[in-house]
Amino acid sequence: MHVMIIGAAGMVGHKLTERLLADGQLGGAPLRALTLVDWVAPTAPAGFDGAVETIAADIATPGLAERLTEARADVIFVLAAIVSGEAEADFDKGYATNLDSTRALFDAIRLVPGYTPRVVFTSSIAVFGVPLPDKISDTHHLTPLTSYGTQKAIAELLLSDYSRRGFLDGIAIRLPTIVVRPGKANLAASSFFSGIIREPLNGQRAVLPVDESVRHWFASPRAAVGFLIHAATLDLTRMGDNRALSMPGLSATVAEQIAALGRIAGPEAVALIDKVPDPVVAKIVLGWPCDFDTARADALGFKAETSFDQIIQAYIEDDLS
Amino acid sequence: MHVMIIGAAGMVGHKLTERLLADGQLGGAPLRALTLVDWVAPTAPAGFDGAVETIAADIATPGLAERLTEARADVIFVLAAIVSGEAEADFDKGYATNLDSTRALFDAIRLVPGYTPRVVFTSSIAVFGVPLPDKISDTHHLTPLTSYGTQKAIAELLLSDYSRRGFLDGIAIRLPTIVVRPGKANLAASSFFSGIIREPLNGQRAVLPVDESVRHWFASPRAAVGFLIHAATLDLTRMGDNRALSMPGLSATVAEQIAALGRIAGPEAVALIDKVPDPVVAKIVLGWPCDFDTARADALGFKAETSFDQIIQAYIEDDLS
């Protein structure tokens, strides 16, 4: 089993690499080779006696897709993307990175005779936009309100069409917001959802910019890696021709997040959260999906946390050291 | 008012040109110039004293999009496409014509400072695929089962994103199956829906390859032109950020088609229909959408026929000579 991870240096890519090494196999086949791709060179994993290649390249580089197919990886995880804010600020860069490089990869695969790898593409709940129902069903239309969401939605359509035609064997999974992210806060509007848990658990103050009634859609990094592994090994004929679907997650309010923090780390942790309302962040967050009916993913065996306590516990076990 | 029609030599393009000339205006502004584009040179209309340019070119020609924007048309109708069967048979040609040339046009417009024309793009109910509800709502997801439908769905997403960002002022309209098509039968699987009306009205025998219980979604060529005109002149801020929608139409069974033919042309016309079941055609047709709830288009003022008698009457008045 040869696995390629495009976007291996990111948080989820790194955790996926660790999980594959710990498992030593994927879908029952021994892990023999890893190709790790990112714009900064991913760290070659220690303690793996299979073949490892690390490739440092901008995925929008012309010709890179053809080079990547030369590895003939059995499974290709496509995690790399320009984030939402950057794709909005730089129109050309966003389309080149999130759409054109994805299509170039699919086309490079298509043009290798007899090569039909499993392609696991990470999409996003940003393919959905207001107006939204209380719970987003598996048949709700995609109405992205950002260029990033548009690029993800288009990649989903391409993936389904290329799969239907037998050029590759693809699945696109729409990840919930991933919390608790390890490391430092970033500039994303969603950063506080991790910060209000992570900072108090590390004895630091955290800022809450929205009302506690705000509801959102969550899964842990551990659950995200589980989705990717399951997507890589699932029999995709069970999906029919629509190869994109929303992953399960936990719909929780900020108040429920804080209550879980209190149960696990006590009132002194909760007391480290400073309520500093930010109308700009509050407005952005209100436009996001906050609950899903994921019957299709559930039936296919995808699993996420069912309480915020579990999400915090995953962070404590996997990242708090 | 300068109007460009890309795909002007086709049946709908030709009728749209005629309607614009008859009206002499669009949205209250006098029609001063027409640019007609198709892969065969469209016929320059007689009796129009404005400026007319006809351009014969394959829309996939590199550089054509930039040339087309030089006209600075106020309204651009995009009707040109490779049809479903051809896009399925020739993967590269389908994507080049139906997707890349559309995106090239949108990008050429984007790169002209201060130029934000109304772009009316004809999409298709082929963006939908089974499994389908009895009535397809305005929020049902797009699950195309052909490369053609995929290309149309992607063009819709691009149109909405480019409109949201202010690069153009676009609307994508999903046309029902257009009947009664004038002229000869073609190779499309849907051809018989027109044939069983048109041939008898012209005193010729027609073949019905499916059961009379088959239901489908129809509008006349006259209604299609009406959709295009309305789309060109509507205030699109009323649509919000989702600039694609299904047009109204008539859901009717083949039995209802035949009953209408009988009411208008008598039993001797109905007697000209030969039932010759074709399991291949029957299977294709069963995968198609057959009824819609078009509340959004209705609220925006789009209008279609409400009986098959009206559809036949439109053919008799406009095409039977």
pLDDT given for residue A139 in this prediction: 97
pLDDT tens by residue, chain A, 321 residues = 999 999 999 999 999 999 999 999 999 999 999 999 999 988 888 889 899 999 999 999 999 999 999 999 999 999 999 988 899 999 999 999 999 999 999 999 999 999 999 999 999 999 999 999 999 999 999 999 999 999 999 999 999 999 999 999 999 999 999 999 999 888 788 999 999 999 999 999 999 999 999 999 999 999 999 999 999 999 999 999 999 999 999 999 999 999 999 999 999 999 999 999 999 999 888 888 999 999 999 999 999 999 999 999 999 999 997
Distances (CA, A) of A169 to A88, A91, A102, A164: 30, 30, 14, 8
**Residue B5 — very low, low, confident or very high, per pLDDT cuts 50/70/90?**
very high
pLDDT given for residue A284 in this prediction: 86
pLDDT given for residue B186 in this prediction: 82
- Total structural domains within chain B: 1
In a domain, residue B82? The reply is: yes
Q: Chain B interface, mutation test: which of A95, A130, A154, A294, most B Cβ atoms within 10 Å?
A: A154
| CB-CB neighbours of A56 under 10 Å | 12
Select the residue of A141, A147, A241 nearest B142 (Cβ to Cβ). A141
Q: Are B145 and A164 within 8 A, CB to CB?
A: yes
Active-site residue numbers of A?
148
pLDDT given for residue A44 in this prediction: 83
Q: Are B241 and A143 within 8 A, CB to CB?
A: yes
Domain that holds residue B37: 2-175+220-246
Chain A residues within 8 A of B158 when measuring between CB atoms? 150, 154
Instruction: Write out pLDDT tens, residues B18-39.
Output: 999 999 999 999 999 999 999 9
Instruction: Write out pLDDT tens, residues B265-284.
Output: 999 999 999 999 999 999 88
In a domain, residue B18? The reply is: yes
Which A residues 25-64 touch B at CB under 8 Å?
none
Q: Is B148 a catalytic residue?
A: yes
B299 touches chain A (CB under 8 A): no
Active-site hit among B95, B115, B148, B315: B148
In a domain, residue A297? The reply is: no
Q: Are A147 and B139 within 8 A, CB to CB?
A: no
Residue B51 confidence (pLDDT) above 80: yes
In a domain, residue B238? The reply is: yes
pLDDT given for residue A7 in this prediction: 97
pLDDT given for residue A186 in this prediction: 82
Instruction: Write out pLDDT tens, residues B73-123.
Output: 999 999 999 988 899 999 999 999 999 999 999 999 999 999 999 999 999
Q: Are A157 and B145 within 8 A, CB to CB?
A: no
Which A residues 253-292 touch B at CB under 8 Å?
none
DSSP category for residue B136: B
**A243 close to A300: Cβ distance less than 8 angstroms:** no
Select the residue of A140, A143, A157 nearest B150 (Cβ to Cβ). A157
pLDDT given for residue A43 in this prediction: 84
pLDDT given for residue B249 in this prediction: 98
Q: Are B241 and A153 within 8 A, CB to CB?
A: no
Q: Are residues A212 and A240 in the same domain?
A: no
Residue environment code for A192-209, b if the CB has 16+ CB neighbours within 10 A, otherwise e? bbbbbbbbbbeeeebbbb
Q: Are A140 and B142 within 8 A, CB to CB?
A: no
| Domain CATH number, residue A269 | 3.90.25.10
pLDDT given for residue A45 in this prediction: 86
pLDDT given for residue B46 in this prediction: 84
pLDDT given for residue A20 in this prediction: 97
Q: Are residues A198 and A240 in the same domain?
A: no
**Stretch among A19-28, A288-297, B40-49, B295-304 having the lowest mean pLDDT:** B40-49
Q: Are residues A117 and A207 in the same domain?
A: no
**Residue B204 — very low, low, confident or very high, per pLDDT cuts 50/70/90?**
very high
Q: Are B157 and A154 within 8 A, CB to CB?
A: yes
> DSSP letters of B274-318?
EE---HHHHHHHHTS---B--HHHHHTT----SSHHHHHHHHHHH
Mean pLDDT of the region B119-136? 96
Residue B45 confidence (pLDDT) above 90: no
Could you tell me which chain B residue has the CA closest to the CA of A132? B139
pLDDT given for residue A125 in this prediction: 95
CA A204 – CA B247 distance, rounded (Å): 56
Select the residue of B133, B150, B241 nearest A145 (Cβ to Cβ). B241
Q: Are residues A92 and A241 in the same domain?
A: yes
**Residue B321 — very low, low, confident or very high, per pLDDT cuts 50/70/90?**
confident
Mean pLDDT of the region B304-317? 98
Q: Are residues A240 and A283 in the same domain?
A: no
CA distance B178 to chain A (A): 25
Chain A residues within 8 A of B142 when measuring between CB atoms? 141-142, 157
Q: Are A141 and B145 within 8 A, CB to CB?
A: no
pLDDT given for residue B150 in this prediction: 98
pLDDT given for residue A286 in this prediction: 87
Count chain A–chain B contacts defined by CB atoms under 8 A: 59
**Residue B71 — very low, low, confident or very high, per pLDDT cuts 50/70/90?**
very high
A168: Cβ contacts below 8 Å, ≥ 6 apart: A106, A109, A110, A116, A117, A118, A119, A159, A162
In a domain, residue B149? The reply is: yes
Mean pLDDT of the region B163-167? 97
Distances (CA, A) of A263 to A216, A255, A257, A266, A268: 20, 12, 10, 6, 11
Residue B2 confidence (pLDDT) above 80: yes
In a domain, residue A282? The reply is: yes
| Domain CATH number, residue A62 | 3.40.50.720
Chain A residues within 8 A of B133 when measuring between CB atoms? 139
Q: Are residues A212 and A227 in the same domain?
A: no
Q: Are residues A126 and A256 in the same domain?
A: no
Q: Chain A interface, mutation test: which of B95, B109, B141, B164, most A Cβ atoms within 10 Å?
A: B141
Could you tell me which chain B residue has the CA closest to the CA of A89? B165
In a domain, residue A196? The reply is: yes
In a domain, residue B158? The reply is: yes
Which helix (H) or strand (E) covers residue B268, if one does? helix B267-270
CA B80 – CA B77 distance, rounded (Å): 9
Could you tell me which chain B residue has the CA closest to the CA of A90? B165
Q: Are residues A67 and A109 in the same domain?
A: yes
